[in-house]
Amino acid sequence: MLDFKKEDIATILVRYNVAMEKALTPDEAAEQLYPKDALFKAVAKAIYEGEEDDVIEALDACLKSGKDPIKLIDEALLPGMAVVSNLYDQGIIFLPNVMMSADAMLEGIDYCKTKTKEVPKSKGTIVCHVAEGDVHDIGKNIVAALLRADGFSVVDLGRDVPVDEVVAAAAKEKPVMITGTALMTTTMYAFKEVNDKLVEKGLKIPFACGGGAVNQEFVESYSLGVYGEEASEAAKFANYILKNGADIGKMRNEFHYH
């Protein structure tokens, strides 16, 4: 029997409170994560809802208020996708939501690019791909979109790309950098094969790798590998190479995580 005189009633109430928090609806949980700025929030909310038309409408409102179209990618579109990833990781929303949101975000990135006044001269070519055997291309699409937004020409080889195709594209395009994405522990070893064949052909091109399956230790186990956690880092790597040259050791020091 509870003796209400002895028990601290506040702790009992806190417990109920926790139960209530867990019972948040997905919309309520998203509401807590949106950017504070009302204009950016509208973009993020439209991404969460997977509504492409609303993303464009919200972006238009941002542009009308004088926001820079390319900065909007970092300020509104990626934070919107981060809300979706966060809720997915917590098991609050499900895969179809993630995919609809990713499409809406990519549409938004394309739209922002059409709104820049200056058409920048290409800074250089980057070859992007998803590892052989792996169909997970959402992350790669974000990487490619952000590289394009930053002024690079992207040769997007797609997903489940045979090792030899990556090497052939590298030989043909002589890119500033190659990117690889792998989300499965069974497919990430294709990166080592790509690396070894590139080295064999004397193509010492930085090979930026990311995706849920890989980590820094794995990527740095092959000579050209530079690990990236977030899609936005790909453009930082490429800009670094343009400025400082393709020194893999220096890049690993500059972009170290732990």
Q: Please state the closest distance from residue 199 (CB atom) to ligand B12, in A.
A: 19
Q: Please state the closest distance from residue 10 (CB atom) to ligand B12, in A.
A: 38
**Pairing state of beta strands 153-156 and 207-210?**
unpaired
- Unique residue bearing structure tokens 């409408």: 57
Footprint of ligand B12 on this chain (CB under 6 A)? 95, 133-140, 142-143, 179, 181, 183-186, 208-213, 228, 230-231, 233-234
Q: Please state the closest distance from residue 184 (CB atom) to ligand B12, in A.
A: 3
Q: Are 192 and 213 in contact (CB under 8 A)?
A: no
Q: Please state the closest distance from residue 222 (CB atom) to ligand B12, in A.
A: 14
- Unique residue bearing structure tokens 């204009």: 39
Spatial distance between the Cα atoms of 162 and 125, rounded to a whole number of angstroms? 20
Q: How many CA atoms lie within 13 A of 145 on its CB side?
A: 25
Q: Which is nearer to ligand B12, 90 or 186 (CB)?
A: 186
Q: How far is CA 53 from CA 121, 146, 158, 252, in A?
A: 30, 21, 26, 41
Tell the burial category of 207 from Cβ atoms under 10 Å away from its Cβ (0-12, 13-18, 19+).
buried
Q: Are 90 and 143 in contact (CB under 8 A)?
A: no
**Pairing state of beta strands 153-156 and 225-227?**
unpaired
Q: Which is nearer to ligand B12, 41 or 129 (CB)?
A: 129
DSSP state of 208: E
Q: Please state the closest distance from residue 219 (CB atom) to ligand B12, in A.
A: 9
- What DSSP string describes 141-188? HHHHHHHHHTT-EEEE--SS--HHHHHHHHHHH--SEEEEE--STTTT
Q: Please state the closest distance from residue 2 (CB atom) to ligand B12, in A.
A: 42
